[in-house]
Chain A
Amino acid sequence: MLQSKELIRDGAKVGDAQSANRPALELRNLVTRFPGDDGAFNIVDGVSLSVAPGETLAVVGESGSGKTMTFLSAIGLVPRPGKVVEGEILLDGTDLLKLSEEDMRALRGTRLSMVFQDPLTGLNPVFTIGDQIAGVLHAHRKLSRAEARQTAIGLLEKVHIPDPHRRIDDYPHQLSGGMRQRVLIAMAISLEPQVLIADEPTTALDVTVQAQVLELLAELREQSGMAIVLITHDLGLVARYADRVAVMYAGRVAETGDAEAIFERTAHPYTVSLFRSVPSLETDTASDLLEIEGQPPDPAALPAGCAFEPRCYLGHGRQDCQTTRPALRAVGDSSHRAACLHSSEVITEGTAE
């Protein structure tokens, strides 16, 4: 079991020295395009991101910012008629875009896995959870029924489901939402993937359960050293669980860097606005809580300059913002980068407060 996995890794190896600090997953200039009534548009527009083994990368942004689509692209599940048209998706050095459909399938679940938003609809209602976990195991490994069942019980134990011997024969409707998300996580990590993408895994859950699920993810990461991509719009979670952050807007990366840098030296007005729109105990009155004016732009009709310009408190109306599309560039330390023409202004403003 382990041997075959090593073989796949070996095949992709370039050199030992390189593989040591190679990212677990790296997206390079990824473009995912959908055909539209007025010509094709890019829902993911040149995204470059990476996550190292054992690291948690939080991807934040409003609904429609392309964060989910970016990682559906990475796992090869872009809904039709969308298509990845440009870029590279490197999983431990292997470009996934060059793999066949069948190789890609074999790799999902075993090396790259994904947990989705709604645990209530994520499990098939007419099969026991044991059957569903076994289904994933059987898809990739030759196991007897008894072995699969034993493995499944072990996995349920690993995600802290009480009384796994009994629970394994339960149907999804007999479990709570938090339990179902645990089962889905158990399925996702059953074959020890190197990268786990968690797409808003706690949005549909109670606040108390949210923390438990995220603690579980952190614990599993500690144990296995896998990389976690946490797609979320909850900045509170980002502060607590992420090592690094990527803020996405209109299918592009607006700002990325170490979580600390992003919080301390915020360099993009969009990120600033996101922080301001989060209620916290320190905010005195409701008036301190600011919403971001306007709507996220239509991906089919992006402005020529900065996509955030129409809603930006800093750059709205400025001519350079309206005409020049800002590229991601380093601000401060090397890994902290922002796509704003006036990022130094944003930083000064933030640190002055």
Chain B
Amino acid sequence: MAGYLGRTFVQLIATLVGIVTVVFFLMRAIPGDPALYMLGDFATETAIVALRERLGLDLPVYQQYLLFMERAVTGDLGRSVVTGQPALTEIISALPWSLSLAVGGLSVAVLVGVPLGILSAIKHGTWIDTAIMLVALIGISFPVFWVGLVAILFLSYHGGIFPALGAAVGGGFWIQIHHLILPALVLGLSVAAYIARLTRSAMLEVLGQDYVRVARAMGVPERRINFRFALRNAFIPILAVIGVTFAWALGNAILVEVVFSRPGLGSTILKAILARDYQLVQAGVLVLATGVVLINATLNVLYGVIDPRMRTGE
């Protein structure tokens, strides 16, 4: 297990270095002079040169890269040109909003998707199975921003159950949760449909395995076979999808944030792109990517916990 954790850790570091590199060169590959963009069309030549020097843009690219890496390691990702605040601080302050939305959405997705998928697999071939899969297909087919608008229309505008907009910034915990429910539902239900379908096929595959027949031949009750025996095997592919959808949820959270006018990483990065605030975009992408990498590392560890064969690398 220690070796397994070690390997996972090394992979994590290597991936992060790769991401930092890609982000850096991606930014340099964008045509135009950042200093010129920042200072505007009427900037004096001396001001531009001074800013280029301050940003280190006068150095050769490889030196810029090394400098960027050196600073990135210490957590210094530059300052936002618009607010003058350290870029990382700006991003970190927006992070909880996106994270709570993504975690909320994913919780909805897992709590709805996994049980429905299991039910569908156990009732394989019956009308219950057909009904669940039909609903799931519909759920996958509708784009999240459309579902968001419809949800606002019926549950907020007509129903008045949930607030339509905002995140109650500065409000109390329960008020913020109340504001979170609708966006989390919207984000989560589309993922739930996906997870339900995957859980069903993973369960069906496991239920067709020889060891399930062996358990039946020895009189192990169906309930025990389904929930204790098969679910654990089925959870390996389900976990993989949860990992992928978390990254997807962070991405879709941007859409949901816009629809619901919530603060968060999505709106912060969007604003930064419009304002050509390169340092902030760089920091935002890096933090998002780090988040995804960390989730994958966590999942890798969880695979090892669920499946003993993973630990030995077989």
Contacts and interface: CB of A to CB of B under 8 A. Distances in A.
A36 interface: no
A125 B233 contact: yes
Contacts of A190: 218
A106 B314 CA distance: 37
A133 to B, nearest CB: 10
B216 interface: yes
Contact of B307 (A107, A113, A114, A125): A125
Interface stretch (A38-46, A57-65, A115-123): A115-123
B229 interface: yes
B184 to A, nearest CB: 31
A188 B218 contact: yes
A124 B233 contact: yes
Interface string A135-173: 110011000000000000000000000000000000101
Given A126-B232, A171-B309, A136 B220 contact: yes
A257 interface: no
Of the candidates B216, B224, B232, B312, the one having the most CB atoms from chain A within 10 angstroms of its own CB is B216
A173 B307 CA distance: 11
A190 B307 CA distance: 26
A313 interface: no
Interface residues of A, number: 29
B221 interface: yes
B214 A139 contact: no
A186 to B, nearest CB: 11
Given A125-B307, A126-B232, A139 B218 contact: yes
Interface string B177-203: 000000000000000000000000000
Contacts of B221: 105, 139
A77 to B, nearest CB: 6
A114 B210 CA distance: 12
B206 to A, nearest CB: 9
B217 A77 contact: yes
Nearest to B235: A126
A285 B110 CA distance: 66
Contacts of B216: 77, 108
B219 A106 contact: yes
Nearest to B217: A114
A173 B313 CA distance: 12
B234 to A, nearest CB: 10
Contact of B219 (A108, A121, A184): A108
Interface string B39-61: 00000000000000000000000
B227 to A, nearest CB: 12
B161 interface: no
B146 to A, nearest CB: 40
B233 A126 contact: yes
Interface string A178-191: 00000010011010
B219 A105 contact: yes
B271 interface: no
A105 B221 CA distance: 7
B interface, size bucket: 20 to 34
Nearest to B230: A124
B123 interface: no
B309 A116 contact: no
Interface string B218-261: 11111010001100110000000000000000000000000000
B258 to A, nearest CB: 42
A126 B214 contact: no
B157 interface: no
A125 B309 contact: yes
Nearest to B312: A173
A107 B306 CA distance: 31
B298 to A, nearest CB: 19
Given A109-B219, A136-B219, A184 B214 contact: yes
B229 A109 contact: no
A202 interface: no
A122 B214 contact: yes
B210 A116 contact: yes
Nearest to B229: A124
A121 B210 contact: yes
Contacts of A125: 211, 233, 307-309
A135 B229 CA distance: 9
Given A116-B213, A122-B210, A139 B219 contact: yes
Contacts of A184: 214
Of the candidates B213, B215, B217, the one having the most CB atoms from chain A within 10 angstroms of its own CB is B217
A318 B232 CA distance: 59
Given A171-B309, A173-B308, A124 B211 contact: yes
Nearest to A101: B222
Interface of A: 75, 77, 105-110, 113-114, 116, 118, 121-127, 135-136, 139-140, 171, 173, 184, 187-188, 190
Given A126-B306, A136-B219, 18 more contacts: A105-B222, A109-B220, A114-B218, A116-B214, A121-B210, A122-B214, A124-B215, A124-B233, A125-B308, A127-B232, A135-B220, A135-B224, A139-B219, A140-B219, A171-B309, A173-B309, A173-B312, A173-B314
30 contacts: A77-B216, A108-B216, A108-B217, A108-B218, A114-B217, A116-B214, A121-B210, A123-B211, A123-B214, A124-B209, A124-B211, A124-B215, A124-B233, A125-B211, A125-B233, A125-B307, A125-B309, A126-B306, A126-B308, A135-B215, A135-B224, A135-B228, A135-B229, A136-B220, A139-B219, A173-B314, A187-B218, A188-B217, A188-B218, A190-B218
List of 6 A-B pairs having minimum Cβ-Cβ separation, nearest first: A109-B219, A108-B219, A109-B218, A121-B210, A114-B217, A124-B211
